[in-house]
């Protein structure tokens, strides 16, 4: 079955710097790759997603890139702010798997003021 | 406001005492799912439902039951809870059709089984 690996598990950056979180997936049938942000005491919130027919997508300070050949995708956060501190999860899904989301193990991002 | 509501948010109970965690969504979504979140393991799917009266096992279904009698509700049932079911649980929903769509999550239920 699908397996998603996420790195790093923790990431500490200075406010204003960029942060990059990387994920790899195993199932070549995966075609949907969402990223979720989880703040303390809250459920995961979708921040950006990308489908397999697109290589890159941007939304203000957040961008996601997808390399289908290498089966990896990355989240890029520029000009980080303290409120970006949270746990971030990548996930992969395919129609073949009844849309089940397979999650990475999460990255705890700390943005130091 | 569109939301997924879980109750209770926190529960401490003892081994073997049946419990139910409720989940309700107000977005008329066909698809609903339960996940458990454990440190270092991300979120793993327990059960999911594609529509009323249609449920299926996820990756970690042992020790859990679900039902989908109404479109908006998807309760998670632990008939005989054990300590290894101590975890943080999330319910999620999404619409079907038009390929993959984002899942909307509740705020979680933290269960402690002593």
What is the Cα gyration radius of chain B? Answer: 13
Q: Do A95 and B99 touch (CB under 8 A)?
A: yes
Distance from CA of A4 to the nearest CA of B (A): 10
Surface-to-core class of residue A92, CB atoms within 10 Å of its CB (0-12 exposed, 13-18 middle, 19+ buried): buried
Residues facing residue A56 across a β-bridge: A65
Residue A53 has pLDDT above 90, yes or no: no
How much of chain A, in percent, has pLDDT values that exceed 90?
80
pLDDT (mean) for A70-74: 96
How much of chain B, in percent, has pLDDT values that exceed 70?
98
Q: Do A43 and B106 touch (CB under 8 A)?
A: yes
Residue A91 has pLDDT above 80, yes or no: yes
Q: What is the pLDDT of residue B1?
A: 83
pLDDT (tens digit per residue) in B41-63: 889 999 999 999 999 999 999 99
pLDDT (mean) for B101-109: 92
| Average pLDDT taken over every residue of chain B | 94
Q: What is the pLDDT of residue B98?
A: 67
**Chain A: residue nearest B90 by CA?**
A43
pLDDT (tens digit per residue) in B21-38: 999 999 999 999 999 999
Q: Does B108 touch chain A (CB under 8 A)?
A: yes
Residue A97 has pLDDT above 90, yes or no: no
Rounded Cα–Cα distance for residues A107 and B61 (Å)? 26
pLDDT (tens digit per residue) in B67-99: 999 999 999 999 999 999 999 999 999 988 767
Rounded Cα–Cα distance for residues A70 and A23 (Å)? 11
| Average pLDDT taken over every residue of chain A | 93
Residues facing residue A11 across a β-bridge: A109
């Amino acid at each position: 079955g699908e397996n998603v690996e996420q790195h790093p598990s923790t990431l500490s950056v200075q406010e204003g710097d960029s942060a990059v979180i990387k994920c790899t997936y195993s199932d070549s049938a995966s075609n949907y790759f969402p990223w979720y942000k989880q703040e303390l005491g809250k459920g995961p919130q979708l921040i950006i997603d990308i489908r397999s027919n697109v290589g890159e997508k941007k939304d203000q300070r957040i961008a996601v890139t997808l390399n289908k050949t290498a089966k990896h995708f990355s989240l890029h956060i520029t000009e980080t702010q303290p409120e970006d501190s949270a746990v971030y999860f990548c996930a992969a899904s395919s129609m073949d798997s009844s849309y089940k989301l397979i999650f990475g193990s999460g990255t705890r991002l700390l943005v130091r003021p | 406001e569109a939301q997924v509501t879980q109750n209770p948010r926190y529960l401490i109970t003892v081994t073997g005492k049946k419990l139910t965690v409720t989940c309700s969504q107000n977005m008329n979504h066909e698809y609903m799912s339960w996940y458990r979140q454990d440190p270092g393991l991300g979120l793993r799917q327990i059960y999911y439902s594609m529509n009323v009266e249609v449920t299926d096992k996820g990756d970690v279904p042992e020790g859990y039951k679900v039902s989908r009698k109404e479109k908006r509700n998807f309760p998670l049932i632990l008939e005989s809870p054990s300590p290894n079911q101590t975890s943080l649980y999330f319910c999620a929903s999404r619409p079907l059709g038009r390929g993959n769509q984002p899942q909307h999550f509740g705020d979680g239920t933290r269960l402690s089984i002593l």
